[in-house]
Copies of this chain bind each other. A is one copy, B any other.
């Protein structure tokens, strides 16, 4: 591990990777700009360091950097990821000046993006025991994408495929809300526009996934839709409009979460969590033991 370098000048160019984090045009995590991946806090930074994204630097308060060094001593994957990475020690005022706000967590890291795998590569890389993946269309809200990746990771979802209209999953806010899991759960964008849903999903079907489109506008319940499926692709659309008719036509089955009359649909990340839960439950796999 590199020795820690103390920096007290907020204008020091070695801090440029974490500069203007809230700026709408200069922020480093814009895909069209510097395109960096930014992680914050002593829970998420080690997850970035353990991920496929090559870390460029870590900036933090003395105490937070010491905790990170301890974490590396306890975890060889973190230690390997930190090898050769510059560690910059700053005080709270300096970091606030650089980041553009008071970053009370006191630890931030920047990494380069890496070329995104193709859908085929992501599916080829799945654990053979994987039974559930997620498919998103039009989920444009960063908090929803982040929560959805957190839920996917927790519920053992193997990968997430992104259709048209989804927000950038490597935006700083997504990384934070996902608790860093967007750096770990493999994802890929479906190629082209919505006109390719049919083709994009046929690859999933060839691999034995039942594609389940979540929508309130069907009589089939989620419980019935996943029963006996073995492998399931849970497909959700934007909060409000939901999945497009085009996407739903490309699915194998439409499924609803039974809702009380007079209520709103659930938040998209919550709907997806229920879909993931239902699809991963043993009852979804072993249809033979259950009467339909």
Q: Would you give the 0/1 interface string for A150-166, flagging 1 where the beta carbon is closer than 8 Å to chain B? A: 11011110000000000
With a cutoff of 8 Å between Cβ atoms, the chain B residues found around residue A269 in the complex are: 270
With a cutoff of 8 Å between Cβ atoms, the chain B residues found around residue A265 in the complex are: 154
Identical copies of this chain, number = 2
Shortest Cβ gap from A283 to chain B (Å): 6
The CA of A179 and the CA of B169, in the complex, are separated in Å by: 26
**Interface pair B147/A263, CB less than 8 Å apart:** no
With a cutoff of 8 Å between Cβ atoms, the chain B residues found around residue A291 in the complex are: 289-290
Q: Does A12 have its Cβ within 8 Å of any Cβ on chain B?
A: no
**Interface pair B223/A263, CB less than 8 Å apart:** no
Choose among A181, A221, A223, A266 the residue with the greatest number of B CB atoms under 10 Å from its CB: A266
Partner of A267, one of B150, B155, B290: B150
Partner of A283, one of B154, B223, B280: B223
With a cutoff of 8 Å between Cβ atoms, the chain B residues found around residue A43 in the complex are: 264
**Interface pair A281/B223, CB less than 8 Å apart:** yes
Segment with Cβ contacts to B, from A17-25, A56-64, A80-88, A254-262? A254-262
With a cutoff of 8 Å between Cβ atoms, the chain B residues found around residue A277 in the complex are: 257, 274, 277-278
The CA of A274 and the CA of B267, in the complex, are separated in Å by: 13
How many residues from A make CB contacts under 8 Å with B?
34
**Interface pair B258/A151, CB less than 8 Å apart:** no
The CA of A269 and the CA of B147, in the complex, are separated in Å by: 12
Q: Would you give the 0/1 interface string for A214-230, flagging 1 where the beta carbon is closer than 8 Å to chain B? A: 00000001010000000
Q: Does A117 have its Cβ within 8 Å of any Cβ on chain B?
A: no
Q: Does A282 have its Cβ within 8 Å of any Cβ on chain B?
A: yes
Give 26 pairs: A residue, B residue, CB < 8 Å, sorted on A.
Answer: A147-B267, A151-B266, A151-B270, A154-B257, A154-B259, A154-B260, A154-B263, A154-B264, A154-B265, A179-B264, A181-B263, A223-B281, A223-B282, A257-B277, A258-B280, A258-B281, A266-B273, A270-B270, A270-B273, A273-B273, A273-B274, A274-B277, A277-B277, A277-B278, A289-B291, A290-B291
Binding site for B on A (CB under 8 A): 43, 147, 150-151, 153-156, 179, 181, 221, 223, 257-260, 263-267, 269-270, 273-274, 277-278, 280-283, 289-291
Beyond the given pairs A154-B263, A277-B278, A290-B291, 12 more chain A to chain B contacts, judged by CB atoms under 8 angstroms and listed by A's residue number, are A150-B267, A151-B266, A153-B263, A154-B259, A154-B260, A154-B264, A156-B259, A221-B282, A270-B273, A273-B273, A273-B274, A283-B283
